[in-house]
Structure 1
Protein backbone atom coordinates (compact mmCIF):
# COMPACT_ATOMS: atom_id res chain seq x y z
CA UNK A 1 0.00 0.00 0.00
CA UNK A 2 1.28 3.45 -0.93
CA UNK A 3 0.33 6.60 0.97
CA UNK A 4 0.82 10.11 -0.42
CA UNK A 5 0.53 13.30 1.63
CA UNK A 6 0.40 16.99 0.83
CA UNK A 7 0.41 20.04 3.07
CA UNK A 8 -1.54 23.25 2.79
CA UNK A 9 -2.24 26.24 4.99
CA UNK A 10 -4.75 28.97 5.60
CA UNK A 11 -5.31 31.77 8.09
CA UNK A 12 -8.68 32.31 9.73
CA UNK A 13 -10.42 33.58 12.83
CA UNK A 14 -13.03 31.82 14.93
CA UNK A 15 -14.58 31.63 18.36
CA UNK A 16 -15.92 28.55 20.11
CA UNK A 17 -19.54 28.66 21.22
CA UNK A 18 -20.44 27.21 24.63
CA UNK A 19 -16.76 27.01 25.55
CA UNK A 20 -15.44 28.37 28.80
CA UNK A 21 -11.98 29.78 28.34
CA UNK A 22 -9.83 31.89 26.06
CA UNK A 23 -11.06 30.21 22.88
CA UNK A 24 -14.62 31.45 23.32
CA UNK A 25 -13.30 34.90 22.39
CA UNK A 26 -12.52 35.89 18.83
CA UNK A 27 -9.02 34.73 17.91
CA UNK A 28 -7.14 33.41 14.91
CA UNK A 29 -4.77 30.71 13.77
CA UNK A 30 -2.36 30.08 10.94
CA UNK A 31 -3.65 26.57 10.25
CA UNK A 32 -1.63 23.84 8.57
CA UNK A 33 -3.50 21.00 6.90
CA UNK A 34 -2.13 17.60 5.92
CA UNK A 35 -4.11 15.38 3.55
CA UNK A 36 -3.30 11.71 3.08
CA UNK A 37 -4.47 9.44 0.25
CA UNK A 38 -3.56 5.83 -0.40
CA UNK A 39 -3.77 3.12 -3.00
CA UNK A 40 -2.14 -0.19 -3.71
CA UNK A 41 -2.26 0.67 -7.41
CA UNK A 42 0.01 3.14 -9.15
CA UNK A 43 -1.00 4.99 -12.30
CA UNK A 44 0.84 4.64 -15.62
CA UNK A 45 3.57 7.03 -14.47
CA UNK A 46 4.10 5.16 -11.21
CA UNK A 47 2.22 7.58 -8.96
CA UNK A 48 -0.50 7.00 -6.40
CA UNK A 49 -1.84 10.45 -7.26
CA UNK A 50 -0.05 13.41 -8.78
CA UNK A 51 0.97 15.73 -5.92
CA UNK A 52 0.01 18.70 -8.09
CA UNK A 53 -3.54 17.38 -8.46
CA UNK A 54 -3.91 16.65 -4.75
CA UNK A 55 -2.48 20.06 -3.82
CA UNK A 56 -4.93 21.69 -6.23
CA UNK A 57 -7.90 19.92 -4.64
CA UNK A 58 -6.75 20.91 -1.17
CA UNK A 59 -6.12 24.51 -2.23
CA UNK A 60 -9.64 24.81 -3.63
CA UNK A 61 -11.07 23.83 -0.23
CA UNK A 62 -8.68 25.98 1.80
CA UNK A 63 -9.31 29.03 -0.38
CA UNK A 64 -12.90 28.96 0.89
CA UNK A 65 -11.65 29.16 4.49
CA UNK A 66 -8.67 31.48 4.13
CA UNK A 67 -9.00 34.90 5.79
CA UNK A 68 -12.58 34.26 6.91
CA UNK A 69 -14.32 34.36 10.25
CA UNK A 70 -15.19 30.66 10.24
CA UNK A 71 -18.29 31.08 12.41
CA UNK A 72 -19.91 33.02 9.54
CA UNK A 73 -19.54 30.19 7.03
CA UNK A 74 -22.49 27.88 6.34
CA UNK A 75 -20.39 24.83 7.22
CA UNK A 76 -20.02 26.10 10.79
CA UNK A 77 -23.40 27.75 11.31
CA UNK A 78 -24.55 25.00 13.67
CA UNK A 79 -21.27 23.36 14.72
CA UNK A 80 -18.25 24.94 16.34
CA UNK A 81 -15.38 25.70 13.99
CA UNK A 82 -13.07 23.58 16.15
CA UNK A 83 -10.02 21.89 14.68
CA UNK A 84 -12.02 18.65 14.82
CA UNK A 85 -14.92 20.03 12.80
CA UNK A 86 -12.60 21.81 10.37
CA UNK A 87 -10.80 18.50 9.71
CA UNK A 88 -14.12 16.71 9.14
CA UNK A 89 -15.33 19.50 6.83
CA UNK A 90 -12.16 19.32 4.72
CA UNK A 91 -12.34 15.51 4.62
CA UNK A 92 -16.00 15.47 3.59
CA UNK A 93 -15.42 18.12 0.93
CA UNK A 94 -12.40 16.33 -0.56
CA UNK A 95 -13.88 12.84 -0.36
CA UNK A 96 -15.96 13.16 -3.52
CA UNK A 97 -13.00 14.60 -5.44
CA UNK A 98 -10.68 11.62 -4.88
CA UNK A 99 -11.48 8.73 -7.22
CA UNK A 100 -10.81 4.98 -6.95
CA UNK A 101 -8.47 3.24 -6.76
CA UNK A 102 -7.17 6.16 -4.66
CA UNK A 103 -8.82 6.54 -1.25
CA UNK A 104 -8.82 9.63 0.95
CA UNK A 105 -7.38 8.31 4.19
CA UNK A 106 -7.16 11.21 6.64
CA UNK A 107 -7.00 14.95 7.17
CA UNK A 108 -4.91 16.52 9.93
CA UNK A 109 -5.45 20.12 10.99
CA UNK A 110 -2.75 21.89 13.02
CA UNK A 111 -3.78 25.01 14.97
CA UNK A 112 -0.16 25.65 15.95
CA UNK A 113 3.15 23.80 16.13
CA UNK A 114 2.09 21.60 19.04
CA UNK A 115 -1.66 20.96 18.64
CA UNK A 116 -3.41 19.03 15.90
CA UNK A 117 -6.37 16.79 15.25
CA UNK A 118 -6.72 14.02 12.65
CA UNK A 119 -10.00 12.93 11.08
CA UNK A 120 -10.54 9.69 9.17
CA UNK A 121 -13.46 7.40 8.47
CA UNK A 122 -13.95 4.36 10.69
CA UNK A 123 -12.96 1.10 9.11
CA UNK A 124 -10.83 2.88 6.55
CA UNK A 125 -13.79 3.53 4.23
CA UNK A 126 -14.00 6.84 2.49
Structure 2
Protein backbone atom coordinates (compact mmCIF):
# COMPACT_ATOMS: atom_id res chain seq x y z
CA UNK A 1 0.00 0.00 0.00
CA UNK A 2 1.49 3.35 -1.02
CA UNK A 3 0.43 6.35 1.04
CA UNK A 4 1.41 9.83 -0.14
CA UNK A 5 1.03 13.52 0.54
CA UNK A 6 1.71 16.48 -1.68
CA UNK A 7 3.03 19.83 -0.54
CA UNK A 8 5.17 22.65 -1.94
CA UNK A 9 7.76 25.24 -1.14
CA UNK A 10 9.10 28.38 -2.79
CA UNK A 11 12.76 29.19 -2.98
CA UNK A 12 15.57 30.64 -5.00
CA UNK A 13 18.70 29.04 -6.32
CA UNK A 14 21.27 29.10 -9.06
CA UNK A 15 23.19 26.23 -10.60
CA UNK A 16 26.91 26.82 -10.31
CA UNK A 17 28.85 26.33 -13.57
CA UNK A 18 25.66 25.69 -15.54
CA UNK A 19 26.17 26.60 -19.23
CA UNK A 20 23.10 28.81 -19.54
CA UNK A 21 20.53 30.97 -17.81
CA UNK A 22 20.10 28.65 -14.81
CA UNK A 23 23.48 29.86 -13.57
CA UNK A 24 21.73 33.14 -12.75
CA UNK A 25 19.70 33.45 -9.53
CA UNK A 26 16.07 32.50 -10.08
CA UNK A 27 13.23 30.87 -8.18
CA UNK A 28 10.71 28.07 -8.34
CA UNK A 29 7.54 27.00 -6.63
CA UNK A 30 8.65 23.40 -6.13
CA UNK A 31 5.98 20.76 -5.71
CA UNK A 32 6.82 17.86 -3.42
CA UNK A 33 5.23 14.42 -3.22
CA UNK A 34 6.36 12.03 -0.49
CA UNK A 35 5.30 8.38 -0.68
CA UNK A 36 5.49 5.86 2.15
CA UNK A 37 5.11 2.16 1.35
CA UNK A 38 3.19 0.28 4.04
CA UNK A 39 3.60 -3.49 4.27
CA UNK A 40 0.68 -3.84 6.67
CA UNK A 41 -2.06 -1.63 8.09
CA UNK A 42 -2.47 -0.59 11.70
CA UNK A 43 -5.49 -1.49 13.85
CA UNK A 44 -7.39 1.51 12.37
CA UNK A 45 -6.78 0.31 8.82
CA UNK A 46 -4.12 2.90 7.96
CA UNK A 47 -0.64 2.51 6.53
CA UNK A 48 0.42 5.79 8.16
CA UNK A 49 -1.84 8.53 9.43
CA UNK A 50 -1.89 11.43 6.93
CA UNK A 51 -1.67 13.84 9.88
CA UNK A 52 1.59 12.25 11.06
CA UNK A 53 3.04 12.11 7.55
CA UNK A 54 2.20 15.78 6.93
CA UNK A 55 3.79 16.87 10.21
CA UNK A 56 7.05 15.05 9.45
CA UNK A 57 7.24 16.19 5.82
CA UNK A 58 6.37 19.81 6.59
CA UNK A 59 9.12 19.88 9.21
CA UNK A 60 11.70 19.13 6.51
CA UNK A 61 10.15 21.14 3.68
CA UNK A 62 9.66 24.25 5.83
CA UNK A 63 13.44 24.37 6.27
CA UNK A 64 13.74 25.01 2.50
CA UNK A 65 10.82 27.39 2.09
CA UNK A 66 11.56 31.01 1.12
CA UNK A 67 15.32 30.54 1.19
CA UNK A 68 18.23 30.92 -1.12
CA UNK A 69 18.95 27.20 -1.36
CA UNK A 70 22.57 27.81 -2.30
CA UNK A 71 23.03 29.17 1.25
CA UNK A 72 21.48 26.08 2.90
CA UNK A 73 24.18 23.91 4.55
CA UNK A 74 23.18 20.89 2.43
CA UNK A 75 23.87 22.78 -0.81
CA UNK A 76 26.99 24.79 0.00
CA UNK A 77 29.17 22.40 -2.04
CA UNK A 78 26.61 20.84 -4.41
CA UNK A 79 24.08 22.46 -6.69
CA UNK A 80 20.55 22.68 -5.32
CA UNK A 81 19.17 20.91 -8.38
CA UNK A 82 15.83 19.14 -8.21
CA UNK A 83 17.76 15.87 -8.05
CA UNK A 84 19.81 16.99 -5.06
CA UNK A 85 16.74 18.45 -3.33
CA UNK A 86 14.95 15.11 -3.72
CA UNK A 87 17.96 13.26 -2.34
CA UNK A 88 18.28 15.69 0.58
CA UNK A 89 14.61 15.36 1.51
CA UNK A 90 14.71 11.57 1.17
CA UNK A 91 17.77 11.30 3.41
CA UNK A 92 16.24 13.71 5.93
CA UNK A 93 12.86 11.98 6.04
CA UNK A 94 13.88 8.31 5.81
CA UNK A 95 14.89 7.85 9.48
CA UNK A 96 11.61 9.43 10.64
CA UNK A 97 9.49 7.32 8.29
CA UNK A 98 10.83 3.87 9.04
CA UNK A 99 8.95 1.35 11.18
CA UNK A 100 8.26 -2.35 11.02
CA UNK A 101 5.03 -1.59 9.12
CA UNK A 102 6.20 1.07 6.66
CA UNK A 103 9.14 2.96 5.19
CA UNK A 104 9.81 5.91 2.94
CA UNK A 105 9.44 4.82 -0.68
CA UNK A 106 10.04 7.93 -2.80
CA UNK A 107 10.34 11.69 -2.94
CA UNK A 108 9.16 13.51 -6.05
CA UNK A 109 10.23 17.08 -6.80
CA UNK A 110 8.68 19.12 -9.61
CA UNK A 111 10.01 22.47 -10.79
CA UNK A 112 6.99 22.82 -13.05
CA UNK A 113 3.87 20.77 -13.73
CA UNK A 114 5.67 19.07 -16.62
CA UNK A 115 9.21 18.52 -15.27
CA UNK A 116 10.55 16.86 -12.18
CA UNK A 117 12.38 13.93 -10.62
CA UNK A 118 11.49 10.95 -8.44
CA UNK A 119 14.11 9.61 -6.03
CA UNK A 120 13.77 6.14 -4.50
CA UNK A 121 16.80 6.17 -2.23
CA UNK A 122 20.04 4.28 -2.52
Shift of 1:121: 2.2
Could you say which structure has the higher strand fraction? 2
The match for 1:98 is 97
Shift of 1:99: 2.5
Q: Structure 2 CA distance, aligned partners of 1:99 and 1:26? A: 36
The match for 1:30 is 29
What does the per-residue CA deviation read over 1:95-114, in whole Å, with 9 as the maximum and x for residues that have no partner?
01012221100000000111
The match for 2:72 is 73
Equivalences, count: 121
Q: Structure 2 CA distance, aligned partners of 1:5 and 1:114? A: 19
Whether contact under 8 Å (2:86, 2:118) holds in the other structure is: yes
Q: Structure 2 CA distance, aligned partners of 1:78 and 1:64? A: 18
TM-score by length of 1: 0.93
What does the per-residue CA deviation read over 1:25-53, in whole Å, with 9 as the maximum and x for residues that have no partner?
00000010000001221011000000111
| Structure 2 unaligned residues grouped into runs of 5+ | none
TM-score by length of 2: 0.96
Shift of 1:62: 0.8
For the aligned residues, what is the CA RMSD? 0.8
Q: Structure 2 CA distance, aligned partners of 1:119 and 1:95? A: 12
